[in-house]
Structure 1
Amino acid sequence: MTNLGEPDGRGEPLRAHRLFRTRDLDEARANVSRSFCPHRLEGIGAMRSFDTVHNKASGRALSLNYLRYGAEVRIDPGDLDDFYLIQFPLRGKALVVNGGHEVLSHESQAVILNPSLRSRLEWQAGCEKLIVQVGRKALQMVAEDLIGHRLERPIVFSPAIDGTRPEVAGWARALRSCMMAAERGADRWGEGNRNQAVLEEQLIARFLICQPSVIQHFFEEGAVQEATSRHVRRARAFIHANLVEPLTLSRISKAAGCSIRALQLAFRNHLGCTPTQYMRDERLRVAHYHLLTAPEGTLVGDIAYDVGFSHLGRFSIDYRRAFGQAPSATLRRSRPVALNFAHSGQSSAKRDVTLGQRKQSSEYQKPNGSKRMSETVGITRADEGINGVSWTVVGQTYTPKLHTENAMIWHAHIPSGTFVPPHIHPTQDEWICVMDGQLEVECGDDVHKAGPGDTVRMPMGIVHAIYNRSGAVANVVFGVAPSRKLYALFGELDGLTDPEELARISALHEVDFLPPA
C-alpha cells in the first residue's frame, strides 16, 4: 500500500493539526470521545509506553486523523451510528472486529468500521493509524448520486481493505495528496478551500467504487442505465455556464438528469474523457485565452484561480501538457517589449549617471515612491555568505552570494545521496551552474546529467527534481529570478528535517512540492 506516513518513514502526519497529546488514559479517552464517539478504553499489560497523540484536519463531511496510543490498548466503541471510520495502520498492527468479521490490520491491509455494526479493537503497542472519518449521510448521498437509486438502508462494506489492489493503492495516493494539502494550510483543506466539496466527493466516490460493499453490483459493466447524448449536452452546458465554480459531479449529474456513474460512462462513450477531465480541459482553454490577452501586471496565479483552478502547481503541469509550454511563457509572449528612450528627456550620459547613483545605494525609489531592494557595489568572498549567512536545507549547505528583488544566487554544497524532491517554482525561473561533481536533474519527463561547467535551465512552472547519485560531493551555483520569497524560505527551512513541514512551509513561500506518486 502507498506509504501514507511521512516520506522518510519517520515523524508524525498532520502535525500542524494537533488536537492533544497526553500520557493519562482517562484524559485520552475523554478527548478521543469528543472527536469521535463515547467508548471504552483500557490498557492491556504494562502501560509505561502509553503516549496518546491525536491530530485532526477537519473538512465538511470528512476529516483526516492521525492517532496513536503507544501502549497496547483495547477499544470498545460499540455502534458508531453516524459515521464510517477507514483506518490505515502506518506502523504496527491492530485486531479489529466489525459485526461478525475479524480483521488483522497492518500496513498492507486497512479496515473500515461500518456504523451499523458493533466494533471492538485491540491495538498492539506501537500501532499508529491514519483514520478517515466519513459522515454516514454524506457517503449515502454520494452513493445515491453515483448509481441513480435511492438507498433505504445503510451501506455495509467488507471490513478488510486489501492495500495490494491497484484500485485501493490509487485511492490511497489520492488520500495522501489530501493529507499534504491539509499540511499546507486552510486554503488547501477545510472550510477555507473553495473546492473542499469537490475533494471530499471525489474521495468518497472512488472509495465506493473500489471497496466491495452491498452496492458493488451497481458498478459492474452493464448495470448502469445508459445516459444519452442529451444528458452529455446538458452536462456540458452546465459546466460552461458555471466553469469558474467548484463544481461537484453530483451537481453536474443532477443538471444532466442522470446518475454520476451513467454520466461518467456517457462522457467516455461520446467524448472519450470523464466529466472532470472535460471540465479541466475547458478551464485550460479559457486560461490560455486569458494568458494570450492579459494586460500588463497580470499574474499567472490570478488567471488560474479566476478560471477555477485551486492548485497553481497542478495548473502549471496540466497547462504545459495541453499547450507545450509553461503558462508564464504564454504570458510573456502576449506582452510586447519596447525600450524607448526617445522621449525620456535624458541624454545617454545623464542616464548613465543616474544608473551609477542607483548602483551605489542599497535601496532606490520605485516610480510609485516605495522602496525596493537593489544591488550594492562589493564582493561576496568565496568562503562567505551575505551577512555571514548559510543554511542547511534537505541535507545540503546553501550559502547566499547575491540577493536583490530581481534575482538571488547561492552556492550549494551537495553531498552524495542527497536530493531535492520534485517541485515547482510557479513564479521563478531557476538555473544551476555545476562547478565540480555530477548532478542528475529531472525536468518534466527528461533527465539531464550535468558535470563541471554545465548549466541546467529550469523555467518557472516546470516540475523538476535534483539528485546527486555520483558517489562524490558536488559544488554548484544556483540562481533564481526574480528572488520572490526564496531567501526567507531558506531561513525557515534551515535545519528542518520533517518532510511534511518542509512541504507546508515551502508552499507558503511559492514553492510547491508534489505529493509522492
Structure 2
Amino acid sequence: MDLLPQLDLSKIYHRPVFRSHSAEDSHQALSRAITHHQLNWGRGDVSTALYRRELNRISLMILSYGAEVIIRPNAFKDFVLVQMPLRGSAEIESDGVGIHLNSGEVAVVAPRRSIRLHWQANCEQLILKLPTELLRQTACQTCALSHCPSLGADCQPWIDPVFKLAGGIAPQWQALLQQMLSLLSPDQARELHPSWINQFEQTAALFLQSHQPSVLERDNQGDEDSSDFNQMPAPFDTRLTRIEDYMRSRLFAPISLADLARVAEVSPRTLNVLCHRHRGVAPMVLLRNLRLEAARNKLISDPRASVTEVAMEYGFGHLGRFSAYYRERFGELPRQTSLMRH
C-alpha cells in the first residue's frame, strides 16, 4: 500500500537553499539551516539538497543527502520536527524510543536528551519545524497539570519524545498539510493576513499535540471516569455556570485548575473533560478567554486605561504574551482596540 499522499510541493522546490556534493559543505550548511549536529556518511554518493519555505512561524523543508547518513543533533528545546519520507526510509531514536519510518509515514520528534537519525541512501524527507513558543500557545488544551505555570519557560508543551501518526488520522494531517502548502505565496507577496495564518498554524500545532499516544491514552483513561458524570448531583450546565461565575468574581486573582475543580466538586481530570465537551476548550483557556473579554471591555469603555495597566490588572504579567493572546482572540492588537475610543 502506497502511504505517500499526493502533495503539491512545487512551491518548496522552487526555493532551493543549497545543493552540494561536498560532505563538509553540506554539514556546515545544514548546521546553519536547521541545528548543530554530528554527521557520519555511509554508502552512496553525497548529493545534498535543501529547499525551504516559511509561513509565519512554521518552516517547511525538503531535504535529501543522497548517501546514507547517521545524524546526531543536539537535543533541541526551541522547536519540534515533523518528518515524512517522500522516498526511501529512515530510523529515529529519541530519548531511547525508536521507530522505523517508511515513505509516506509521519513522525513527530521532540527529544529532551538525545536523538539519533539514520537515513537510508536516496532518502528524501519533507520536514516541518515548529517553534516551541507556538506549541505553548496551544498547550493548555492538552495539559493535565492541576496548576498552570502561565505558559512560562518551565511549561513542557510536549510529552512524547518521538511517535508516528496513527494510520487512521494520517489522512487528516495530510489534508492540513496540503492546505498549509496552498498558503505559501508563489512570490514574496503577503496576500493572506498574518493573524489568520497564525490561527491556522495553531490548529496544526494542536492537531499534533492532541494526537500524541500518551495524550490519547490519558484521555481514553479519562473516559473511564464517566461514572463520575452519572453520579453528579448537579447538572453539567449548573457546574459550568458555577465555575464561570467563580472565574468572573476573581478575574484579578490567581486561580489554578485545582481551585476550579474544588468549586465544581469534581476531579481536575473530570473538569477538563467537562469543559472540553461543553465549552470546547480547557478550563484554563476558558479562564483566559474571560479575562481577555474583560480586558477588551475595559479598553473600549475607559478612555484613561492604558494597555499595560489593563494587562496587569487582569493577570497578564507578560505584555507580549497578552498582545498575542488578544490578537488571536479578537483579530486585532490591544492598542488598536484602544485607538477605537478616539
TM-score band (shorter)?
Answer: 0.5 to 0.7
For the residue of structure 1 that corresponds to 2:62, the secondary structure is strand
For the residue of structure 2 that corresponds to 1:133, the secondary structure is strand
8 Å Cα contact 1:147/1:261 also seen in 2: no
8 Å Cα contact 1:146/1:261 also seen in 2: no
Correspondence for 2:178 among 167, 170, 176: 176
Q: Does 1:204 align with 2:180?
A: no
Residue 122 to residue 184, structure 1, CA distance change in 2 (3 Å): same
Counting aligned pairs with the same residue, the percent is: 21
> How far does residue 116 in structure 1 lie from its aligned partner after superposition?
0.6
Cα separation, 1, equivalents of 2:27 and 2:17: 13
Superposition RMSD in Å: 3.7
Q: Does 1:31 align with 2:29?
A: yes
Cα separation, 1, equivalents of 2:177 and 2:116: 25
Residue 230 to residue 84, structure 1, CA distance change in 2 (3 Å): same
Residue 173 to residue 4, structure 1, CA distance change in 2 (3 Å): same
| Bigger Cα Rg | 1
Report the counterpart of residue 163 of structure 2 in structure 1: 160
Residue 128 to residue 139, structure 1, CA distance change in 2 (3 Å): same
The one-letter code matched in structure 2 to 1:80 is F
8 Å Cα contact 1:147/1:260 also seen in 2: no
For the residue of structure 1 that corresponds to 2:61, the secondary structure is strand
Listed as ranges, the gaps of 5+ residues in structure 1 are: 234-258, 269-307, 309-517
Listed as ranges, the gaps of 5+ residues in structure 2 are: 230-235, 246-270, 281-330, 332-342
Correspondence for 1:92 among 81, 88, 92: 88
Correspondence for 1:266 among 265, 278, 285: 278
Residue 77 to residue 123, structure 1, CA distance change in 2 (3 Å): same
Residue 146 to residue 168, structure 1, CA distance change in 2 (3 Å): same
5 Å matches for 1:33-432?
33-47=31-45, 50-147=46-143, 149=145, 150=148, 152=154, 154=156, 155-157=158-160, 159-164=162-167, 166-182=168-184, 184-185=186-187, 186-187=189-190, 193-213=194-214, 217-218=218-219, 220-221=222-223, 228=240, 265-267=277-279
For the residue of structure 1 that corresponds to 2:200, the secondary structure is helix
- Structure with the largest fraction of helix: 2
Residue 66 to residue 38, structure 1, CA distance change in 2 (3 Å): same
Report the counterpart of residue 464 of structure 1 in structure 2: none
Residue 6 to residue 176, structure 1, CA distance change in 2 (3 Å): closer
> How far does residue 36 in structure 1 lie from its aligned partner after superposition?
1.6
For the residue of structure 2 that corresponds to 1:109, the secondary structure is coil
Residue 46 to residue 127, structure 1, CA distance change in 2 (3 Å): closer
> How far does residue 261 in structure 1 lie from its aligned partner after superposition?
7.6
The one-letter code matched in structure 1 to 2:119 is W
Could you tell me the TM-score, scaled by structure 1's length? 0.40
Count matched residues: 239
For the residue of structure 2 that corresponds to 1:42, the secondary structure is strand
5 Å matches for 1:448-467?
none
Residue 146 to residue 116, structure 1, CA distance change in 2 (3 Å): same
Cα separation, 1, equivalents of 2:186 and 2:244: 36
Cα separation, 2, equivalents of 1:229 and 1:25: 63
Cα separation, 1, equivalents of 2:91 and 2:174: 21
Cα separation, 2, equivalents of 1:262 and 1:162: 26
8 Å Cα contact 2:89/2:119 also seen in 1: yes
8 Å Cα contact 2:89/2:101 also seen in 1: yes
Report the counterpart of residue 296 of structure 2 in structure 1: none
- Structure with the largest fraction of strand: 1
For the residue of structure 2 that corresponds to 1:228, the secondary structure is helix
Could you tell me the TM-score, scaled by structure 2's length? 0.59
Cα separation, 2, equivalents of 1:15 and 1:263: 43
Larger RCO: Structure 1 or Structure 2 (Cα < 8 Å, ≥ 6 residues apart)?
2
> How far does residue 202 in structure 1 lie from its aligned partner after superposition?
0.2
The one-letter code matched in structure 2 to 1:24 is S
> How far does residue 262 in structure 1 lie from its aligned partner after superposition?
6.0
> How far does residue 42 in structure 1 lie from its aligned partner after superposition?
2.6
The one-letter code matched in structure 2 to 1:173 is A
For the residue of structure 1 that corresponds to 2:214, the secondary structure is coil
For the residue of structure 1 that corresponds to 2:194, the secondary structure is coil
Residue 64 to residue 264, structure 1, CA distance change in 2 (3 Å): farther
Q: For residues 55-108 of structure 1, give each alpha carbon's deviation from its aligned partner in whole angstroms, at most 9, with x where no partner exists.
A: 222234322211111221121103112211111111100121111112111125
Residue 261 to residue 33, structure 1, CA distance change in 2 (3 Å): farther
The one-letter code matched in structure 1 to 2:112 is S
Cα separation, 2, equivalents of 1:228 and 1:204: 27
Report the counterpart of residue 17 of structure 1 in structure 2: 15
